[in-house]
Amino acid sequence: KIDWEIPRKTLHSSIGFLTLSLYVNGGTPQPVIVVLTGTLAIVASADFLRFRFSTFETLYETFLGFLMRESEKHKINGVVWYLIGVLFALYFYPMDIAVVAILILSWADTAASTIGRLYGRYTPALPSRVLRIPIPFVKARYHPRLGFASRKSTAGFMAAALTGLVITTSFWGYFGPLRA
């Protein structure tokens, strides 16, 4: 049986729609940065308390456990990393680049997860090590390698890549010029 994680994916994807709405309506990122920074402080604090106090952990998982993956119950919640990524994009990049980055994070990840769960077992797993990073004056066998996360499928990867392509071409073909 496939766990579709519908509440989690709904929340994940909704960020993309909110971000696109902010962009199309001429909003600025500053109020969003303030709200998301406050949200990050609350979520990170709750995660800290969850790891420190078993009573709080039980309460937290009772109310928010349906949004968590089983693997997140013993490590930092994915929402923390998600918020850090969104804040980083909004703070350090021009608005159009930040919006596209957030849309890809929001929608391509959801597409990869959905298609990967549905068709991943029929496609090869992605290699765990792909690209060797050359470092001058260091023997090649000691060069670090970049790879994909474990347990990821070609189907999910292709869904993410295709979704990212559609997002970027749609954004700069249609939405980007709306604000110019």
Number of domains in the chain: 1
Asked whether residue 163 is assigned to any structural domain, the reply reads yes
Contact 51, 127 (CB under 8 A): no
pLDDT at 146 over 70: no
Residue 42's pLDDT band (cuts 50, 70, 90): very high
Asked whether residue 1 is assigned to any structural domain, the reply reads no
Residue 144's pLDDT band (cuts 50, 70, 90): confident
The tokens of 160 are what?
């993410």
Provide the residue range defining the domain that includes 48: 6-179
62 or 180, higher pLDDT: 62
Give 81-137 pLDDT, tens digit per residue.
999 999 999 999 999 999 999 999 999 999 999 999 999 999 998 877 776 777 888
The tokens of 48 are what?
């800290």
Note the pLDDT of residue 49: 96
Contact 65, 5 (CB under 8 A): no
Give 156-171 pLDDT, tens digit per residue.
999 999 999 999 999 9
CA angle at 137 for the pair 136 and 142, rounded to the nearest 5°: 85
Report the Cα 167 to chain-centroid distance in Å: 15
CA 138 vs CA 132, 145, 147: distances in Å? 12, 14, 20
The tokens of 32 are what?
């969003």
